Amino acid sequence: MGEDGESTKINHSFLRDYVTEADVISTVEFNQTGDLLATGDKGGRVVIFQRETQSKGEIEELGESGEYNVYSTFQSHEPDFDYLKSLEIEEKINKIRWLPQQNAAHFLLSTNDKTIKLWKVSERDKRPEGYNLKDEEGRVKDFSTVTSLQVPVLKPTDLMVEVRPRRIFSNGHTYHVNSISVNSDGETYLSADDLRINMWHLGITDRSFNIVDIKPANMEDLTEVITAAEFHPKHCHLFVYSSSKGTLRLCDMRASALCDKHSKIFEEPEDPGNRSFFSEIISSVSDVKFSHSGRYLLTRDYLTVKVWDLHMEKGPIETYQVHEYLRSKLCSLYENDCIFDKFECVWNSTDSVIMTGAYNSFFRMFDRETGRGVTLEAWRESSKPRAVLRTRRVYTGGRRRRGDVGVDSLDFTKKILHMAWHPDENIIAIAATNNLYIFQDRVNPETQ
């Protein structure tokens, strides 16, 4: 990624159109400080970017934030085969979550459909030299040449980033893992598949607790699946999970060992005026995120993003239309399977702005205070590095402005599904197929 060099000039046009399936980015995540940004792709690789600090120790000027450069690349998951079911297990990385940093090393969890792995990312910039029994290459010395004793010393070397798997949490899931979430207690995390949620201890790999199980006794009675799950950012006993029927369930682990009974259920009653055969499909929640404060929930379904107050179960407190113009196209989108696309949604650091992706390389940001939304584009052709992003508009009637895009000319293969917002600053990372875009707010780089 990003290491093309000369080959870019030679067959740039060819490379531009040819997207290797394995390079498609499937998840993006900042760590808790925002210095590291991890991306996972369909080929099972993880690429970690690190933010360069302009000048260490000096105060950064406003607007001059460091750039992100590749820090480390490693193969997290390999394709696997389930011999019992005669089915392949994809190596695609579904989610990455960073652990809070406790020492010099960084830890992250990455998961594919079945297996979760804990990786340790550490730096080495010194190496011991001057061994008595071995020479510089590691070969055993001829003892006759050793005449005196020396103490090995640590000498600085080039920076090396080592990534090692520390834990492998396997055989916990029969169905496809869609979410992982690290608990605020720093010791446990949850993993959710279509029908079950398990809680693991970071140190124990051969056992997990099953805390939610919605599998019916008869699989033919199955009508609802789990689509996403997350721990509360502050209360280690609370977690939320969303379903394909558009409900959110808040569960308290203090209530019982198996949290099949929710503490609260958040559901918006269906609008009878908008009812169609696709109503259920478009109500399916594709992503759920707690606000940083822990007071609100952000959910994404096919056409909207909604903000919910944990204290009010009967409906969302805010609803934002992402691409309402697609409502009349639902049948075509059902035909080409786009209606099943799972978009993510994110909060900014102060929970005042929410962001989600759409089609045609567009993504949308909504200011919660004003209620206004803006459409931006993550597309190389229309933006040069360091150029200001201009807002885009989809033409849905009325006066047509220059630059407006018609609904029928939207490219549904260019979808922005995955994105992340820096935990403290106004820097966003957008995954557009196999490209990663990093945008930052020059006007207000620091959040107020």
Partner 1 sequence: MFSKGTKRKFSDGGEELPEEGLPGSNEELSSVSYSLQRQSLLDMSLIKLQLCHMLVEPNLCRSVLIANTVRQIQEEMTHDGSWQAATMMEAFAAASAAGSGAAGPPERLVATEVLCRPGREMNGSPTAEPKLFSVMGYEECREEEVVAVEEDSICSEAASNVCLSGSMGHCWERGMLRGERELDSRLGAPDEDVDVEEEDEEEEDDNELEGCREEGEAKAMRQVFGTFEIKNSHPGPESALEELFSDVDASYYDLDTMLTGMQAAPKIGPYDLLDSLSQSHTPSSLSSASNCRSDLNELDHIMEIIVGS
Please select the residue that binds partner 1; options are 277, 314, 398, 448, rule is CB under 8 A.
277
Phi and psi at 279, nearest 5°, equal -55, -45
Site membership for partner 1, residue 260 (CB under 8 A): no
Amino acid at residue number 375:
T
Please select the residue that binds partner 1; options are 20, 223, 391, 444, rule is CB under 8 A.
223
CB 192: neighbour CB atoms within 10 A?
27
Site membership for partner 1, residue 335 (CB under 8 A): yes
DSSP-assigned letters across all residues of 211-274 = EEE---SSGGG----EEEEEE-SS-TTEEEEEETTS-EEEEETTT-SSTTS-SEEE-PPP-GGG
Site membership for partner 1, residue 174 (CB under 8 A): yes
Please select the residue that binds partner 1; options are 225, 374, 389, 407, rule is CB under 8 A.
225
User: Interior CA angle at 202 toward 238 and 213, to 5°?
Assistant: 50
CB of 410 to partner 1, least distance (A): 14
* Dist. CA 278–CA 302, nearest whole Å: 11
Q: Which residues pair with 179 in a beta bridge?
A: 192
Closer by beta carbon to partner 1, 102 or else 328: 328
**Total number of residues binding partner 1 (CB under 8 A)?**
39
Site membership for partner 1, residue 336 (CB under 8 A): no
Please select the residue that binds partner 1; options are 59, 133, 140, 219, rule is CB under 8 A.
219
Site map 75..114 versus partner 1, x via CB under 8 A: -------xxxxxxxxx----------------------x-
Closer by beta carbon to partner 1, 82 or else 187: 82
Site membership for partner 1, residue 393 (CB under 8 A): no
Q: Which residues pair with 431 in a beta bridge?
A: 418, 436
Site membership for partner 1, residue 143 (CB under 8 A): no
Amino acid at residue number 400:
R
Q: Which residues pair with 272 in a beta bridge?
A: none
CB of 122 to partner 1, least distance (A): 34
Site membership for partner 1, residue 70 (CB under 8 A): no
Closer by beta carbon to partner 1, 237 or else 327: 327
Site membership for partner 1, residue 334 (CB under 8 A): yes
CB 52: neighbour CB atoms within 10 A?
13
Site membership for partner 1, residue 194 (CB under 8 A): yes
Positive/negative CA dihedral, 380, 303, 220, 250:
positive
Site membership for partner 1, residue 439 (CB under 8 A): no
Token couple for 347 = 């909060």
Positive/negative CA dihedral, 115, 116, 118, 121:
positive
Helix spans in 64-213 (H): none
Site membership for partner 1, residue 218 (CB under 8 A): yes
Maximum Cα interatomic distance, the chain, rounded to a whole number of Å: 93
Site membership for partner 1, residue 247 (CB under 8 A): no
Cα-Cα-Cα-Cα torsion 209, 235, 46, 53, nearest 10 degrees, comes to: -160
Closer by beta carbon to partner 1, 143 or else 277: 277
Site membership for partner 1, residue 222 (CB under 8 A): yes
Chain positions contacting partner 1, by CB under 8 A: 82-90, 113, 174-176, 194-195, 218-220, 222-225, 227, 244, 276-278, 280-281, 284, 328-332, 334-335, 337, 340
